Structure 1
Amino acid sequence: MSLMRNLNRALTATTGLQVRRASPVASAAPGATAPKRAAKKPTAVYRCPAPEDLATDRLLRRPVFIMSPVRSGSTLLRMLLNAHPRLHSPHELHIRRLEVGYGSKLSQKAMSALDLERGDLEHLLWDRVMHRELVRSGKDFIVEKTPSNAFVYERIRDCWPDARFVFLLRHPVSIARSWYEGDPDKRTYDEAAADALRYMRAVERAREGTTGGYTVRYEDLTADAEKELRGLCAFLDIDFEPSMLDYGRQDDAQVVKGLGDWRDKIRTGRVQAGRALPTDDEIPDLLRPMCEAWGYSQ
């Protein structure tokens, strides 16, 4: 063992490499291919910035995050909010996928000396990217709506202690149907329902794990957009603007051109009612608990 340590010290000093004992390889049947497994990434370590550190650690102020499952109308809500002169809601930014790595041990030690771990550096990157986008828009607040953000709501909450959360809900069966119909060759309806349920559960965990959020239902939004937007604007502490209802005239409406059920909304520039709600006997057992939790079933 001491020989191995001495060898690794010499290798590290001269090449930066080390020798490791190979893991035993299980014998496989002739012609069989071993399944590939993605390496599990270590959890990013980070600290929550103290109130007195926000001025130096964060550029964004009071960002807004829409937490929603897939196929729940988040694109519609994004466009309505983006039509407000003070709100900038760009396309999905997927900031959680922006990661930071160390090029060397020295860089890691240097950042640690600054009290910056990998998670802290990622948070600085997320904040800078979103702040850049906000500044380019010339508006006051940014609204981010990537559905997968719900899976990392804790990090978003810890990254921006002054963040505001809007929870967009829709009937779980409608979500599952829309997710299936979006690509019926990719997954069966049961598979689509199970996959969409992951997002619904993540959103529900975020609702339970944050305080002071605001809940909007897709069905209410399409039935009376002005009423729902007035309530949402009051939550965001901004005035309601009638221009929000003319979202179809905004240039970014072209982003969703050709997305089926959105087409008429874009063409008319007005919100229209969605499909009829599923009946109780159309709710599969898999989705019934979520329907009950969200008040869509008794």
Structure 2
Amino acid sequence: MNQASHKKIPPVFIVSSGRAGTTLLRGLLNGSNQIHIPPESDLITRAYPFYYDKQHFSDEDYKKIVKLFINTSEDNGWEMTEDYLLTCLKDQAPQTFTDINSTIYNAYLKHVGLDSQQWGIKRPVLIAGIDRIIRTFPEAKIVHVVRDGRDVFLSYKEIHRKDAVKFGPQGVVTNALYWIDGLRRIEEINNLDFYELRYEDLLSDPATELKELCVFLKIDYEKFIADENDKSISKNTALKTKDKLFIRKISEIKPTNTKKYLTKMSQIDRFIYELIAAPYLMKYNYPIEFNVVTSFLWFPLRNIAYMGARLFNNWRYHRRDIETYNK
């Protein structure tokens, strides 16, 4: 696969219910030298309600969208200046929401010297806007990363305990409902062209999982593997960003980062989590410890909880979009 053909690769969006290894996957795919995924951004879903149906974009619209991009993207807009982005938009004058997104993402690739590659977007919370993504980019490839929700709970718990910047649900109930709501959003979209990848499978057999994923993404797997041992890989990446474009190698993967809940999660928390999430733990082939939670008697109560979580999350996402737009 030569450089000119990289743009024929469809763009990819990596989503999850959070703390599921999307950053690891981003780093691995960035080592392919065919697709590049910048730091996180959810511009596409945040700006969608205000701009998707718009048929003419003025310079003032571009200014507002650039500010939205900077406010909804890591590294203060991927370390691109407002002037640089405005110049790119004014020069190309995109007049659809799809083209505006593409212009910004391609501007980043040019900024870091990777304009021969195709862009991708990684942000777990985009799982709540899958419908918006596929309307904007019908040809896009969606990669859904799933991790055992009990380990996801522990990861969020650690963030609230240690990190200065805290995010995500805190309690075991809210964690379980948040995890499930993301899975249900994927489940509810008909005819979605997506690839589902279990985090645990990626850790245990990364070569096999990546080979299958490369077929889905239309990435040359042999080229991907060739770069694994390429000591000159840094020559092919303009290392300008704080995370040095974040490239990971298969050999760096640690297969033991699983089933932490067995030793680090209390028995009562494990029971509560399974009571709420049993149908989805079983759907993704995660083991159930307490057989009583599989009884059909729990189904009506679960469905009420799931619907309540959906209503709450929709309200929360809508409020967030309005607040961000009005900044």
Alignment TM-score > 0.5, same fold:
yes
Structure 2 unaligned regions, length at least 5: 1-6, 58-64, 66-94, 289-327
2:109 and 2:117 in contact (8 A); partners too: yes
Displacement, 1:254?
Answer: 6.2
1:97 aligns with 2:79: no
Q: Is the 8 A contact 1:71 1:175 kept in 2?
A: yes
Per-residue deviation, 1:128: 2.0
Q: Alpha carbons of 1:139 and 1:183: their partners in 2 closer, same or farther (altered >3 Å)?
A: farther
Deviating more after overlay: 168-177 vs 88-97: 88-97
CA contact (8 A) 1:93 1:146 kept: yes
Superposition pairs for residues 69-148 of structure 1, below 5 Å? 69-95=17-43, 96-98=45-47, 111=56, 122-135=97-110, 136-148=113-125
SS in 1 for 2:276: coil
**Contact kept in structure 1, 2:207 and 2:250, CA below 8 Å:** no
**Aligned-pair CA distance for 1:142:** 1.6
Q: Is 1:234–2:215 an aligned residue pair?
A: yes
Report the residue type matching 2:36 in the other structure: H
- 1: CA distance, partners of 2:54 / 2:241: 47
Measure the CA separation in 2 of the matches of 1:93 and 1:242.
28
TM-score (norm. length: structure 1): 0.61
Which residue is equivalent to 1:221? 202
Q: 1:201 aligns with which of 169, 181, 206?
A: 181
Structure with bigger gyration radius = 1
Structure 1: runs of 5 or more not aligned: 1-58, 103-107, 113-118, 257-264
- Residue 61 of structure 1 contacts residue 141 of structure 1 at CA under 8 Å; is this kept in 2? yes
Which one-letter code corresponds to 2:152 in the other structure?
I
8 A Cα contact 1:166 1:213, kept in partner: yes
Q: Deviations over 1:84-134 (max 9, x none)?
A: 0101011102213347969xxxxx99849xxxxxx9854443232123224
| 1:203 Cα offset (Å) | 3.9
CA gap 1:202/1:158 in 2 versus in 1, 3 angstroms: same
Indicate conservation of the 8 Å contact 2:10/2:217, yes or no: no
1:291 matched to 2:274: no
Cα distance change, pair 247–77 in 1 and its aligned pair in 2 (3 A): farther
TM-superposed deviation, 1:68 = 1.0
- Letter of the structure 2 residue corresponding to residue 273 of structure 1: P
Structure 1 residue 170 corresponds to structure 2 residue 147: yes
After TM superposition, list the pairs within 5 Å mapping 1:56-75 onto structure 2: 62-75=10-23
SS of 1:183's equivalent? helix
1:168–1:217 contact (8 Å) kept in structure 2: yes
Once the two structures are superposed, residues 165-219 of structure 1 have per-residue CA deviations (whole angstroms, 9 ceiling, x without a partner) of: 1111110101111011112276898526514642542243224415231111111
Choose 121-130 or 267-276, whichever is displaced more: 267-276
Give how far 1:60 is off.
9.1
Compute the TM-score of the two structures, normalised by the length of structure 2: 0.56
Distance 1:218 1:178 in 2: 14
2:252 is matched with 270
How many matched pairs?
Answer: 223
Q: Decide whether the 8 Å contact of 1:172 with 1:290 is kept in 2.
A: no
Deviates more, 1:282-291 or 1:224-233: 282-291
Which structure would you say has the larger RCO, counting Cα contacts within 8 Å and 6 or more residues apart? 2
* Aligned counterpart, 1:255: 243
C-alpha contact 1:89 1:144 (8 A) present in aligned 2: yes
Identity within the alignment, %: 24
What SS is found at the alignment partner of 2:100?
Answer: helix
Shift of 1:245: 4.9
Letter paired with 1:153: I
Amino acid at match of 2:207: E
Q: Which residue of 1 aligns with 2:133?
A: 156
Query: Which residue identity is paired with 1:242?
Result: I
Residue by residue over 1:144-170, the C-alpha shift from the partner in whole angstroms, topping out at 9 and shown as x without a partner, is 111111111111000011111111111
Greater fraction of residues in helix: 2
Structure 1 letter corresponding to 2:21: G
